[in-house]
A and B are shown apart, each in its own frame.
Chain A
């Protein structure tokens, strides 16, 4: 097939899914590494075409291993998956043809310029020189790198590298985009710019996005649906609103002014709901009757003459969902869980 024909096909007749209408279908996906536990342990999920699916979990939860399998870089130990209608094991080349991938490392050649990267990527996909140059320039413009296009990547900031990585993933007009922790280490402005572009791709171009993240706000702001993964298992799935609604009630957390009063404070809070894990020196409960109970909590503490240094009302968050499902807070869960050797075991 001539390169220009191939590109025309990419622009037009692409299904972005299988007969079920899903861009991604995963059934019982497992990955085991030698001398290690199951990094991915029987994941089942489906992502309809055009959806942004947030895959949320702490470091070492199995997010990157899942992405490596779905993008054909790592064979699964068991289970199956179809991406854009193609089996990831038997039709690896067809899968790669349909997907764009920005892996966690933002692997770029420090000695090449942004424009040279675009040219190389287009060439590797068999896109003709003129078409590659035209679309490469357009993508660089879109991700805000037009002015820096002829600078070597070694001089780029972290945010610029991430944006170039995204542009490279889009060179061949993929129908499904995998982004593995695309905003890790970025400043707020760069993060917002990347979110805007990902949202635009989904909204305007119908691209299916599978996005892994360890940031709650990222999943909350960007994802149509969220899957929460912990220790290789999918522990919850739904829209952010559904997941938070399932937790339902808000919680209150209080810190006594005198640390010695923590037990008395816990006893007062226990009158209003079930205790929750809290930060050191604090006590927390899930309010049985919702936010209107906050005034009663304050009155109760005042009645017992317990001085409070801090009092917080938490609306349910995805962290609460994670906490409810795993018994741990998402923040720091990765550090607690050292069982998974994903980063070392996945081929670099």
Chain B
């Protein structure tokens, strides 16, 4: 097969691998339910237990539920790391990766296809979290268009974290190693401005860590749409960081795939 013919197969292969990824995701409730339930569970606990935080001078919202609503979106995105990485590691372990390697498979089609399942979960999460937030009484200050932007930003963050999972899965070929990333991601989440605005964090070290932690800016971008309205700077930072993580993750995944794909 000539190089140009192989390139021409890229969209078709991406379509089929995406289709497989969607089927696999839809047929595994275990990878859909926890990313929905646990973030909502934590949101419910935080919203009921930390509502007094809204009386702190300078707190940017009247409702802690509205303030914390960005948290499950980020938490859900972290699950994306796990899903993407575990799926590719399973394929490597089972030999399915070799089966694909024996076809004229193009690397980008594999990466894009694998991310499709992650985006499906991201979509379900975004709809569920928004619906839960609205049902619990939170308001979206940026309105319907803002809700759509939340949706888009959530998918961008899920794709970005998905590439980190892909890299880990391709590099290690081990589902266990990918699972090992999960606590690291959670530490990043908790050492961000998820629970309090950065300027209200009393501990200097915590404030410093939260300031250099990119997760803070992703959360603040999402949060701005919920509690502030349209904050161009927060949104630009959030999208820029999501795109940067995606780009770096994709580049690292591409290199890892090339190393993994030792076919001649």
User: Could you tell me if B6 and A93 are in contact, using CB atoms closer than 8 angstroms?
Assistant: yes
Residues of B within 8 A of A291 (CB): none
Q: Does A220 belong to the interface (CB within 8 Å)? A: no
Q: Does B105 belong to the interface (CB within 8 Å)? A: yes
Residues of B within 8 A of A74 (CB): 262
**Given A6-B5, A123-B13, CB of A111 within 8 Å of CB of B27:** yes
Q: Does B97 belong to the interface (CB within 8 Å)? A: yes
CA A168 to CA B264, docked complex, whole Å: 22
Chain B proximity mask over A78-104: 1 for CB below 8 Å, otherwise 0:
000000000011101111110101010
Chain A proximity mask over B69-106: 1 for CB below 8 Å, otherwise 0:
00000000000000000000000111111111111110
Pick from A1, A101, A123, A348: contact of B12, CB below 8 A: A123
Q: Does A66 belong to the interface (CB within 8 Å)? A: no
CA A92 to CA B101, docked complex, whole Å: 11
**Given A73-B98, A109-B24, A348-B97, CB of A92 within 8 Å of CB of B104:** no
Q: Does A105 belong to the interface (CB within 8 Å)? A: yes
Q: Does A124 belong to the interface (CB within 8 Å)? A: yes
Residues of A within 8 A of B92 (CB): 348
User: What's the nearest-Cβ distance from chain A to residue B253, in Å?
Assistant: 17
User: What's the nearest-Cβ distance from chain B to residue A213, in Å?
Assistant: 19
Residues of A within 8 A of B103 (CB): 96, 121, 124-125
Size band of the B side of the interface?
A: 35 or more
User: Could you tell me if B101 and A107 are in contact, using CB atoms closer than 8 angstroms?
Assistant: no
User: What's the nearest-Cβ distance from chain A to residue B146, in Å?
Assistant: 37
User: Could you tell me if A105 and B95 are in contact, using CB atoms closer than 8 angstroms?
Assistant: yes
Residues of A within 8 A of B202 (CB): none
User: Could you tell me if B94 and A107 are in contact, using CB atoms closer than 8 angstroms?
Assistant: yes
Chain B proximity mask over A35-73: 1 for CB below 8 Å, otherwise 0:
000000000000000000000000000000000000111
Residues of A within 8 A of B16 (CB): 119-120, 123-124
CA A295 to CA B112, docked complex, whole Å: 74
CA A112 to CA B96, docked complex, whole Å: 12
User: Could you tell me if A168 and B99 are in contact, using CB atoms closer than 8 angstroms?
Assistant: yes
Q: How many A-B residue pairs have CB under 8 A?
A: 102
CA A123 to CA B101, docked complex, whole Å: 14
User: Could you tell me if B1 and A71 are in contact, using CB atoms closer than 8 angstroms?
Assistant: no
User: What's the nearest-Cβ distance from chain A to residue B11, in Å?
Assistant: 10
**Given A1-B8, A74-B262, A348-B92, CB of A120 within 8 Å of CB of B20:** yes
Residues of A within 8 A of B203 (CB): none
Interface on chain B toward A: helix, strand, loop, or mixed SS? Answer: helix
User: Could you tell me if A126 and B9 are in contact, using CB atoms closer than 8 angstroms?
Assistant: yes
Residues of A within 8 A of B23 (CB): 111-112, 116
User: Could you tell me if B1 and A103 are in contact, using CB atoms closer than 8 angstroms?
Assistant: no
The A-contacting residues of B in range 194-212, CB under 8 angstroms, are none
Q: Does A75 belong to the interface (CB within 8 Å)? A: yes
Residues of B within 8 A of A105 (CB): 94-95, 98
Chain A proximity mask over B238-264: 1 for CB below 8 Å, otherwise 0:
000000000000000000000010111
User: Could you tell me if B20 and A112 are in contact, using CB atoms closer than 8 angstroms?
Assistant: yes
CA A152 to CA B26, docked complex, whole Å: 14
**Given A123-B13, A124-B103, A126-B12, CB of A92 within 8 Å of CB of B264:** yes
User: What's the nearest-Cβ distance from chain A to residue B15, in Å?
Assistant: 7
Q: Does A347 belong to the interface (CB within 8 Å)? A: yes
Q: Does A324 belong to the interface (CB within 8 Å)? A: no
Closest A residue to B259 by beta carbon equals A347
Q: Does B173 belong to the interface (CB within 8 Å)? A: yes
Closest B residue to A74 by beta carbon equals B262
User: Could you tell me if B99 and A111 are in contact, using CB atoms closer than 8 angstroms?
Assistant: no
Given contacts A93-B1, A107-B99, 5 further A-B pairs with CB under 8 A are A107-B94, A108-B96, A111-B27, A111-B28, A126-B13
The residues of B with any CB-CB pair to A shorter than 8 Å are 1-3, 5-6, 8-9, 12-13, 15-17, 19-20, 23-24, 27-28, 92-105, 173, 260, 262-264
11 contacts between A and B (CB under 8 A): A1-B5, A72-B263, A72-B264, A92-B264, A107-B94, A109-B24, A116-B23, A125-B104, A126-B5, A347-B98, A348-B98
